[in-house]
Chain A
């Protein structure tokens, strides 16, 4: 019997787990995918919003601001990539100025610090590639950019190091209340727990509706993105949003923490909770809109496009807390933008809610700091040579585009909740995330994964399940026929 089971190992679930690991409790995170950060958390704008956008008084506004305030310290404590680069909401038309002012006022009401409306000259000085049509912008210096993978993975690793169990490939199919505890059914058997945290993202409505008569509804809202080559990464320094106009919402153009440029998202409501396919209409829309706020965006430098799904709740609001008439079942539902920004604050609040309910005691052995995978690029030449002398694997480059060494791959595999698949390696180390998109490194990464996990290469997957990368050996069918004949 667990004290608490968290359903979902995304940004929210891992944050809840990490803050729960400060207390003495028997906690488990169950995840249907083979790794953490496989749903909405892996495909989004990777922005830490300042908090001026969400409606004043909403949970979104509250947790956005709280989350934003937590990121700088958390990034140091947990060693993930975060840069406070500031954002600009660009107003393209004099007649839209009232909208800009409204956004500013809302931000002030929400408690966002250092907001400023900047005029043309300053705007151009700050961001030379801004569109010549831009008339003013709302500057939010507290906005930032984060690597959503390294953030979520850091939270999960730290939770795991502090005693939280993670069960992957565990899809919960039913939830039953058995008097004083909950029983979760999965193909692998049932799991008993006193408390349940529903952090299931797109599926949070499904789990909520299993235990409550007050039904909620989550719509998968697809967002297509394009990622541009690091070669053009210096195109911008701030995150650029377009002020929404009566013609609609624009798309954002932003640097990423790794020096790429991200463009997106679209917003298309769909039915399929796994429908992360891009469409040509979506990508064309991005390309068309991205040019609105900046001039001569080098869109031809795209290295990949992808789509993510937001868990859009019908009322566009977070649903957080214990479900009525379902004692011990805690929702974290409807967490869409600014969900990533809010996630650490939600995690902390939910952990404290459970602490109070369950009278959890602090764990004296809790260690809140975590070291990430070493980033050789940030070392001096002497330090790097020393690293290679101690472990020659750091001298063998596997991913040419991002200069990622075998040492980094080995660390990714052998650290807590280590990488098992090509995507797991990619999200932890960036190997395969560069301009050749894993063309050169994937056979080598597969070889290393197979060697380290002690399995045949044909067992290695892209992202778990049936995503096998190898389907046999040359002439194996012929050999089989020969054997059958003889």
Chain B
């Protein structure tokens, strides 16, 4: 069995950034395992621009953004294997993987970084009633067909869900010659970025119907139409509000689910809110030496934050390997939330192991205006930020510094609160 110090599961934006950062932190014995035919992950099919504004101060397309990290990985000569599916990971970090050349093989890792990304929620998970004809696609599948394979999955399109991929695909399908009739969103607000609503819907005159959902799908072979209805505050369709749209395609952009089947299989504790692993300040999961970053940890809005988070995981994995094992006794302080945040990443912080500037990310459960985000160390407010608007579609973050922890040597509880004044 071959040994590697760090094995990274997934060669998308998170895996690439983690690998580069681990290398820069001094590690050399690194392997990236990627199931697709090339590195870059889902960015390869995101041919629109708008990536990298935070990191590179320029607007890149998905493939361009990915190539910045692929170039680094190539420059460092980091080993990677493509077309390689990880089948199983054991709790003691033995990875079983498979590809055409090597067959089924095992690798022993000293540290693992989980960077498998996420998948799209399907029609089935929502119990949308109706027939099951051809022409129902998740937005990402449609994106792959159009942008990579060069095929149009449909002509007359209705989109359910206003997640970012759905919004991007509304524009893409329109540009490629389809007629996007409406975007229905069951929630009273969009889960996508504001800029995508403006640039992908408003600019093309595509209506966005909030608090609406699909209540019927027609067509025995190919979709021939869908029925949309308004929903009440419990998200139940309101009789009498049905509207019929004839169409040949229904695209679904109804949520992303971190792909944690491997994590679950190895026994990593998962967070019920994010569906990602529970992690500490080092982005280390409940299994020492197993780290997680990117959409497998929690679904991000911008890839820039994926890269940033993954670099942190990469550095921490490198430190874990350098230290030989986890150092000393842990003093994990829970991070709790109040008044709006649904979760935080990380979930616990050991001040001794926190970096000089520690980022805590979270999302809120509803649209909130003119609020204060405050971090309390016990009863002491250490961070305060005014936020004119917060929405579930956009990730929030606060930064904790070494200085703050040093001032609170007997810290017992960290709370992130969203407060009106």
- A residues whose Cβ falls under 8 Å from a Cβ of B: 226-227, 231, 274, 276-280, 282-283, 302-306, 381, 384-386, 388-389, 392-393, 395-397, 400-401, 403, 435-440, 442-443, 447, 457-458, 461-463, 465-478
Contacts and interface: CB of A to CB of B under 8 A. Distances in A.
B216 to A, nearest CB: 8
Given A439-B141, A471-B154, A304 B122 contact: yes
A388 B102 CA distance: 8
Given A277-B131, A465-B221, A388 B138 contact: no
The 7 closest A-B pairs by CB, nearest first: A304-B124, A385-B103, A392-B100, A462-B134, A437-B122, A474-B176, A395-B100
B35 A397 contact: yes
Given A303-B122, A305-B124, A474-B152, 11 more contacts: A276-B131, A302-B127, A303-B125, A395-B100, A400-B85, A403-B87, A436-B122, A463-B134, A470-B152, A471-B152, A471-B249
B145 A306 contact: no
B48 to A, nearest CB: 14
Contacts of B133: 462, 467
A338 to B, nearest CB: 26
Contacts of A400: 35, 85
B154 A437 contact: no
A392 B104 CA distance: 11
A397 B124 contact: no
Given A280-B215, A384-B103, A403 B129 contact: no
A279 B127 CA distance: 9
Contacts of B122: 303-304, 435-437, 439
Contact of A469 (B125, B134, B146, B220): B134
A443 B146 CA distance: 11
B129 A280 contact: yes
Interface in B185-227: 215-218, 220-222
B56 interface: no
A277 B103 contact: no
A280 B227 CA distance: 13
Contacts of A467: 133-134, 221-222
B72 interface: no
Interface in B79-134: 83, 85, 87, 96, 98-106, 119-120, 122-125, 127, 129-134
A256 to B, nearest CB: 15
A228 to B, nearest CB: 10
A278 B151 contact: no
Contacts of A478: 177
B221 A463 contact: yes
Interface string B131-156: 11111001011001110111111110
A384 to B, nearest CB: 5
B237 interface: yes
A37 to B, nearest CB: 15
B408 interface: no
B164 interface: no
Most buried by A among B99, B102, B120, B134: B134
A102 to B, nearest CB: 36
Nearest to B88: A403
A22 B106 CA distance: 47
A302 B125 contact: yes
A439 B140 contact: yes
A306 B132 contact: yes
Contact of B103 (A280, A283, A395, A463): A395
B248 interface: yes
Contacts, number: 150
Given A403-B87, A436-B120, A467-B133, A393 B150 contact: no
15 contacts: A280-B237, A303-B124, A381-B106, A385-B104, A388-B104, A403-B85, A439-B119, A439-B120, A439-B122, A440-B141, A457-B151, A468-B222, A471-B155, A474-B146, A474-B151
B386 interface: no
A461 B218 CA distance: 17
Nearest to A405: B98
Nearest to A478: B177
B252 to A, nearest CB: 9
Contacts of A436: 119-120, 122
B153 A470 contact: yes
A403 B83 CA distance: 13
B134 A468 contact: yes
B176 A302 contact: no
B264 interface: yes
A475 B103 CA distance: 41
A283 B104 contact: no
Given A303-B122, A397-B98, A443 B141 contact: yes
B101 A274 contact: no
Contact of B152 (A227, A388, A476): A476
B221 A472 contact: no
Contacts of B96: 381
Contacts of B217: 277
Nearest to B126: A302
Contacts of B248: 471
B145 A443 contact: yes
B103 A388 contact: yes
B88 to A, nearest CB: 10
B175 to A, nearest CB: 8
Contacts of B99: 395-396
Given A385-B103, A466-B222, A279 B151 contact: no
A392 B152 contact: no
Given A306-B132, A436-B122, A470 B100 contact: no
A439 B138 contact: yes
A231 B152 CA distance: 34
B19 to A, nearest CB: 22
Contacts of B83: 396
A249 to B, nearest CB: 22
A279 B215 CA distance: 9
Nearest to B133: A467
Nearest to A390: B103
A393 B99 CA distance: 9
Nearest to A43: B132
A395 B153 contact: no
Nearest to A456: B151
Contacts of B215: 280
Contacts of B237: 280
A276 B153 CA distance: 23
B126 to A, nearest CB: 9
A416 to B, nearest CB: 26
A472 B152 contact: yes
Contacts of B144: 443
Interface string B221-253: 110000000000000010000000000110000
A277 B150 contact: no
Contact of B101 (A395, A457, A458): A395
Given A280-B237, A403-B85, A461 B177 contact: no
Contact of B149 (A385, A438, A457): A457
B134 A461 contact: yes
Contacts of A437: 122-125
Given A276-B131, A462-B133, A478-B177, A469 B87 contact: no
A87 B85 CA distance: 37
B177 A477 contact: yes
Most buried by A among B102, B127, B133, B237: B127
B151 A458 contact: yes
A466 B131 CA distance: 14
B80 to A, nearest CB: 17
B154 A392 contact: no
